[in-house]
Amino acid sequence: MSRRLSTPLLSLLITLVMLGVTSSPALTSFNGNPAIMSTEGRQDGLDVDCSGYTFEHLFEYDFALFELQILDDWATGDMAANAWVNGSNSPIVRDNLDGLFEGFPGGDNDWISTDERDAVRGIGPKCIADMETRLGMREGIPHSGGVDWNDLEFVEDGIALDEVNLVPESHPDTRSCINSGRSPDCKEVPTSTTEDMEISLFVADGQTNNVRWNQLPNGGVSNFTLAMNISNMSNAALVVTFPVLQGLRLYDFRVTDNQPASGETCDNIGEPSFVYLPDGALRVTQLVDFDRTQWDLVCNMFMDFTTMEPETNDVPIWTEMAPANGTVIPTSGAGTWRFAVADTGNAWASDENGWSLQCEFADAGWSVSTNVLGDFFITQPEGATQTSATCTPADPLGAMDENDSRTWTFGTLYTATGTVDEDGKNARLTITSTGLVNEFLFSARALQNGQMGGAGESVAVASQPTMTAVSLQSIRPGAFTFTVSAEASNMLLHEAEFSLGLTKPNSPPSVSVAVNFDGLNATWDESQLKFEMYGLVSDPDLEAVTMSLTICGADYQGFAIDGINWVVEVSTAICLANGLTDYNVIITAVDESGASTQLAVGIPSPMVDDVAPVAQPALEAEDGALPSITFLATLSMLGAALLVQRRRPE
């Protein structure tokens, strides 16, 4: 949706602020049709009206995650939302935000400023409070619409907003704002900026909730349905975590649509997934991948829950995928570490009603948990190195086979120290085994802002410290971390990321000059008043490089750089105007971090039938400095040079 929005500032501004909060199920209303309804903004002060808007009408995101924690009172909730905008979508968002301020100083001028950003932050909670969450609940028999839903609504005082990189600080085109009424430190960047950005909604400091609804009379114990309008939600996920309630389970799911004339349907929406957390709480995840161009299609989703015991309830059983008795589960030390992704961990046991992993540890402070995606984590306390745990799968009704438990060992696999080579090409990791296993294979790669360094080889680590070189190829100067893996027999695959506080030093660029067919560094044109040079330039840190040269004491910037190739055409007018005949140059290449390389290049004097161009006498200013060349002086110099070319020796 790339069209420019020109709605009243307040209405648009609020909708935009929604941008990190209403891009998903958790931020628009269940009952309302996603089409924007006619609304009038209350444009006095900061009193705004955002009712009728949905996030999808204004914001193009690449992925949005909405997490709703239903609190124990079954009447309030904690909602967090994150929306990520990458590449080509980010200019659309910036342009839409800038368009909100049409008619105001600095607004709708194709520049997005920190003043506009701060205005969006300030008005956002008020705007979001007018919007609907798209979520509703109802107790009793299952429903699929046509009844009075218990809608969730936002609480203005509980809403906080933030953004990352809407106005990038280090963008090369950043400038001070030039509009009237700007703040003293106002900065702005073009709306065409393609840097990734992120917008988020969360509970404000000092508040306990940011959504509310009419309390469910029976606190979720009786049957209830959770409904959501998922129209026009592209690539989003809703994660709902319920309070701990014995026997709570999801038993049915369906999606309905309005059957528009276009023939489009909601049949592509898959069923939700669910997992039971270690404390027994039920967490449900619904993924939505909607074609946002289908504005006439309305999709509603319904999840039915119950605490009634099924007629039969078998205990969960281990599968062949589960770790065997005695398996070692490694960590990188104190902290919380993932030891199994959702697809892997959920395949360790099976039960038609779902299951959670229950572990009894031999030592205090250890625990297992899962995240919103269902990944399994182990938390290791400070000062502890290893422990054992007896683990059993349990279903939501508490059924488990205590005679089919498995004992696993959790613990620190290694310690690591590191250095960086002076030339910045490699980091050196020293890995010391803790003895958790006799031997393991270890590999590491450098990581910086999502960019991976060069691949390395695996090394065997046993009783003695082992050093491995980690390539810093593709890593830019500055701080970086490591992503590592380790494997051994009877041990789960270990994958982790950690930082040793290392930084890569900046290396200067490399520059060279090519020679022509005559073996010379430059080629003169027919006038003998300018020459061309070309060569190669590169930076080992993959930073952009700028080039310049000096000739006859003057600076010249006219380099054309294409990849690693450069070419420059240099005029000698300044030399001739000041009577200089030494055309040697000094080339300077500078990378983004300021490291430079200089190269002195000898340039042969031009000759025409063994006669050099006539050098004009050097003119000195009163202070002794070389004067700049006037237009008439340049014409005189060119005329003299042409006469020299035509003259023949007698």
HEC string of 252-308?
A: EEEEEECCCCCCCCCCCCCCCEEEECCCCCEEEEEEECCCCCCCCCCEEEEEEEECC
543 — pLDDT class (breaks 50, 70, 90) = confident
Architecture of 320-412 per CATH? Sandwich (2.60)
pLDDT at 647: 34
pLDDT for the residue 54: 64
State both tokens at 1. Answer: 């949706």
- Going by pLDDT thresholds of 50, 70 and 90, the confidence category of residue 23 is very low
Quick one: average pLDDT of 543-568? 92
Architecture of domain 510-644: Sandwich (2.60)
CB atoms within 10 A of CB 475: 25
| φ, ψ for residue 612, nearest 5 deg | -80, 155
State what percent of residues in the chain have pLDDT above 90: 44
- Whether residue 31 contacts residue 54, with contact meaning beta carbons closer than 8 Å, is answered with no
Instruction: Render 553-579 in DSSP notation, one character per residue.
Output: TEEE--EEEETTEEEEEEE-HHHHHTT
Q: What pLDDT, on a 0 to 100 scale, did the predictor assign at position 405?
A: 94
What's the mean per-residue pLDDT of the chain? 81
Sign of the four-CA dihedral 259, 260, 263, 265:
negative
Q: For residue range 205-237, list pLDDT tens digits in order.
A: 999 999 999 988 888 888 999 998 888 787 889
Whole-number Å distance between alpha carbons of 542 and 538: 7
* Count of other CB atoms within 10 angstroms of residue 535: 19
Report pLDDT digits (tens) over 523-542: 999 889 999 999 999 988 87
Residue with tokens 């129209």: 231
Cα 455 from Cα 476, distance rounded (Å): 16
| Three-class DSSP category at 638 | helix
Q: In a 10 Å sphere around its CB, with 0-12 CB exposed, 13-18 middle and 19+ buried, how is residue 313 labelled?
A: middle
**Token code pair at residue 87:** 């590449």
* C-beta atoms surrounding 210 within 10 Å: 26
Specify the pLDDT at position 623.
37
264-273 confidence digits (pLDDT tens): 888 888 889 8
Residue tagged 């182990």 (tokens): 378
Query: What per-residue confidence (pLDDT) applies to 46?
Result: 41
Mean pLDDT of 582-587: 94
Report helix, strand or coil for 27: helix
Q: Which two tokens stand for residue 415?
A: 């310690």
pLDDT at position 624 over 50:
no
From the number of C-beta atoms within 10 Å of its C-beta (0-12, 13-18, 19+), residue 343 rates as exposed
State the Cα–Cα distance between residues 311 and 306, nearest whole angstrom: 13
Query: How is residue 117 annotated by DSSP?
Result: H
With tokens 């702005």, the residue in question is 188
End-to-end CA distance of the chain: 78
Between CA 646 and CA 613 the distance in angstroms is 11
Length of the chain as a residue count: 650
Task: Tell me how far apart the alpha carbons of residues 277 and 243 are, in angstroms, rounded to a whole number.
Answer: 11
Please calculate the CA angle 187-189-190 and round it to the nearest 5 degrees: 150
45-71: average pLDDT: 73
Q: What is the pLDDT of residue 143?
A: 78
Burial of 487 (0-12, 13-18, 19+ CB in 10 A): middle
For 473, the token pair is 């190829």
* DSSP element (H, E) containing 159: strand 159-164
Q: Are 640 and 617 in contact, with CB atoms under 8 Å apart? A: no
Assigned architecture for domain 414-504: Sandwich (2.60)
3-state secondary structure of 551: strand
632 or 46: whose pLDDT is higher? 46
Higher pLDDT, 310 or 496: 496
Percentages helix, strand, coil for the chain (3-state, rounded to 5) are 10, 40, 50
Measured in whole angstroms, how far is the alpha carbon of residue 160 from the centre of its chain?
21
**Residue 515, Cβ neighbours under 10 Å: how many?**
13
Q: To which residue do tokens 């917008």 refer?
A: 199
Comparing 632 with 309, the larger pLDDT belongs to 309
Q: Give the integer Cα–Cα distance in Å for 75 and 211.
A: 9
Read off the pTM. Answer: 0.54
> Distance between CA atoms of 605 and 395, rounded to whole angstroms?
89
Mean pLDDT, residues 94-116: 86
Is 453 within 8 Å of 470 (Cβ atoms)? yes
Question: Please, is 326 exposed, middle or buried when counting C-beta atoms within 10 Å of its C-beta (0-12, 13-18, 19+)?
Answer: exposed
Task: Cite the DSSP H helix spans in 38-105.
Answer: 89-99
Query: How far, in Å, CA of 477 to CA of 474, rounded?
Result: 10
Question: Which has more pLDDT, 8 or 203?
Answer: 203
Q: How many whole angstroms separate alpha carbon 265 and alpha carbon 259? A: 6
d(CA 488, CA 344): 18
Angle at which helix 114-130 crosses helix 9-17, to 10 degrees, equals 90
Q: Residue 130 is inside which H or E element, if any?
A: helix 114-130
Catalogue the E-assigned strands of 177-222.
187-190, 197-203, 211-212
pLDDT reading at 476 higher than 50: yes
- CA dist 31 and 52 (Å) reads 11
In the chain, ranges of CATH 2.60.40.10 domains: 510-644
The Cα angle at residue 429 between residues 427 and 430, in degrees rounded to 5: 150
| Spatial CB neighbours of 174, under 8 Å, sequence gap ≥ 6 | 168, 187, 188, 189
